[in-house]
Amino acid sequence: MGKFKEIISAPTPTLVDFFATWCGPCKTMSPVLDELKKVYGDKLRIIKIDVDKNPAIADQFKIRGVPTLMLFKESKMLWRESGAFPLSTLKQKIGEYL
């Protein structure tokens, strides 16, 4: 948990993808997040958290459905939404924070 707190407290915005290996919509988000990283480069850090392997973090943020995406900067949650999104929608949702 310490490493996670360290990552989300950074000044670089961090998009956290809470996912599960058995989740179909989570799998569709993987290439979208890869494309998002190409678009924003160093302006955005993206990390993936497997809710089955990290139940304490999932519980802390009350993750009830996957995928759930959360955007943090300097430990503040700026945005949170559950579901799979196309790249254009995701860019629109988080672009204002970057």
User: Does residue 26 have an active-site annotation?
Assistant: yes
Distance, in Å, from the CA atom of 72 to the CA atom of 76, rounded to the nearest integer, reads 5
Catalytic residue among 15, 26, 33, 58: 26
The rounded percent of the chain whose pLDDT value lies above 90 is 96
Extents of the domains making up the chain: 2-89
Q: In 10 A of CB 62, how many CB atoms? A: 8
Q: What is the pLDDT of residues 39-53, one digit of tens each?
A: 999 999 999 999 999
Query: What is the predicted pLDDT for the residue at 4?
Result: 92
Q: Is 23 a catalytic residue?
A: yes
* pTM of the shown model: 0.95
User: Among residues 8, 16, 23, 58, which one is catalytic?
Assistant: 23
Mean pLDDT of 33-62: 96
| CATH T-level topology, domain 2-89 | Glutaredoxin (3.40.30)
The pLDDT, as a whole number, for residue 1 is 60
- 3 state SS for 54-70: CHHHHHHCCCCCCCEEE
